[in-house]
Amino acid sequence: MYNRIILLGNLTRDIDLRYTTSGTAIGKVGIATNRRFKNAQGEMQDETMFIDLTFFGRTAEIANQYLRKGSKILVEGRLVLEQWTAQDGTRRSKHSVSVENMQMLDSRQESQQPTDTAPAQQENQPPLPGGPDDEEVPF
């Protein structure tokens, strides 16, 4: 049997990073993926899916360090069924993706800065040596 899933989307929230008693990092987050298709009437329609992701070990720590809500990411992993007993005694379950590989698709600057702040503009700064204002441009 083959259990492999590949998802491309945006994170729905910041990563919730926790550690097991043995020190293993576990990161949980959600991803939103979109699909555009024509419906029976020939109109374009969008469908959004929300899927839970789980990162483990160093991958969880890296994801927590560089990814934020809204970050674009490509993940590859396997589908798992999580089961538990709720506080009221009922059995609960849900599907999620256990991430084995990831690629961060935002630029480095976008992923390291908080989403609600823009980089500080520095006006009246002299150009750096070797910049585009120098007469010698290597081509």
Query: What is the mean pLDDT of each successive set of 10 residues along the chain, which is 139 residues long?
Result: 93 95 95 93 93 95 94 96 94 95 79 46 45 45
Can you tell me the distance from the alpha carbon of 71 to that of 79, in angstroms, rounded to the nearest whole number?
Answer: 22
Q: Provide the token pair at 110.
A: 């976008």
For the chain, which residues make up each domain, given as ranges? 5-112
**In this structure, which topology does domain 5-112 adopt according to CATH?**
OB fold (Dihydrolipoamide Acetyltransferase, E2P) (2.40.50)
* Residue 67 buriedness (CB in 10 A; 0-12 / 13-18 / 19+): buried
Q: Provide the token pair at 98.
A: 């256990």
Can you tell me the distance from the alpha carbon of 8 to that of 26, in angstroms, rounded to the nearest whole number?
Answer: 21
Residue 122: per-residue pLDDT = 42
Q: DSSP alpha helices (H): ranges in the chain?
A: 57-66, 108-112
pTM for the whole thing? 0.72
The answer to whether 30 and 52 have CB atoms below 8 angstroms apart is yes
| 29-66 residues labelled b (16+ CB within 10 A) or e (exposed) | bbbeeeeeeeeeeeeeeeeeeebebbbbeebbbebbee
